[in-house]
Structure 1
Amino acid sequence: MSTDTPPPLPRQPAAEAARATEPASPGIAGVDDTGVPAGGGDAAEVGRGFFRALFDLSFRTFITRRLAAVFYVVGLMAIGIAFVVYLVTGIVEGVGALWFNPGAGISLIVATVILVPLFAFLAVIALRFVIEAVVALIAIAENTERTAANTRR
């Protein structure tokens, strides 16, 4: 069944409709691109809100997104310290082994120089992956809670 009449045209072009429905600022008002509400108020008020959320026994307020950067920096520092310790220890042990077994000493030095940076790099990737996964999980929980609050009757 073919008809020669074209489908009706929309009242306005798609580009105009898209511009008309776009918010003035991207995202949700009062929330930055990390999803953390913007701190409106003085620092003492923000601190009280943090400690109030920290001791919220109902777990209705999430602090993980606020602390993700701190966890990442602390994790990077721990990986950096471990990197230096293992690298120096491996090289010192390799040099010490050179006196008794030159082949083992050279092997230990080469393995240390190759494997320690590789494992440190993999540890940074794993740390980032875990923190991003936890932050994404918290974002899903917050968005689900917000959706549920907006759909209640």
Structure 2
Amino acid sequence: MTDPTPPVPPLPDQPAAEAARSAGTPAEASAPAYDPASDPDDTGVPTSLHDDAAAVGRGFFSALFDLSFRTFITRRLASVFYLVGLIVIAIGFIVYLVNGIVGGASLLWINAGAGITAIIATLILVPLISFIAIIGLRFIIEAVVALIAIAENTERTAQHTRR
């Protein structure tokens, strides 16, 4: 039988207010205060962090061939992936729409009811499936970008909490 009470985490060495007062360093004094009203992306994450300057200065190709995977390129390429996905979905839409209508029209000579049904099904299903594909593509890209943002913010938090 297990103990129903969860384990209690250890207490920190000092209270948070005392740690905040004793943590003042010259580097922090020169950094501008974070103002949420002036934040263009409205995520609440400060965009004016000093350690980001090195990451921004690194080129795309140096980040692409970074074997330690310290720099993420997914957020930079998300719009390109989305555009390419939209183009692929549009090409698929056109191909399936034309094939469905041509196939339905060719069925009209054999069985008029089957041909009309195929054309109507094509006109309903192809746009619906294409729309669902666009939504799915957007969800996947947003999930990957959110995962990368979580990883970047976790790394940033870990850098600022090291002793």
TM bucket, shorter chain = 0.7 to 0.9
In 1, the alpha carbon distance for the partners of 2:47 and 2:128 equals 43
Amino acid at match of 1:25: S
Match of 2:123 among 113, 131, 137: 113
Q: Deviations over 1:73-110 (max 9, x none)?
A: 00000000000000000000000000001111011000
In 2, the alpha carbon distance for the partners of 1:100 and 1:116 equals 23
Match of 1:82 among 92, 99, 114: 92
- Which 4+ residue blocks in structure 1 deviate beyond 6 angstroms? none
Percentage of identical aligned residues: 66
**Unpaired segments ≥5 residues, structure 2:** 1-32, 40-44
2:59 match: 49
Give 3-state SS (helix, strand or coil) of 1:62's partner.
coil
Match of 1:68 among 57, 78, 101: 78
In 1, the alpha carbon distance for the partners of 2:78 and 2:153 equals 18
In 2, the alpha carbon distance for the partners of 1:137 and 1:62 equals 11
Amino acid at match of 2:93: F
1:28 match: 46
Match of 1:124 among 134, 143, 159: 134
Q: TM-score under structure 1 normalisation? A: 0.73
Supply the RMSD in Å over aligned alpha carbons.
Answer: 2.3
In 2, the alpha carbon distance for the partners of 1:30 and 1:105 equals 62
Matches within 5 A, 1:83-98: 83-98=93-108
In 2, the alpha carbon distance for the partners of 1:129 and 1:86 equals 23
Q: Do the aligned residues in 1 keep the contact of 2:63 with 2:72 (CA within 8 Å)?
A: yes
Q: How many residues align?
A: 122
1:143 match: 153
In 2, the alpha carbon distance for the partners of 1:29 and 1:74 equals 29
**Unpaired segments ≥5 residues, structure 1:** 1-20, 41-45
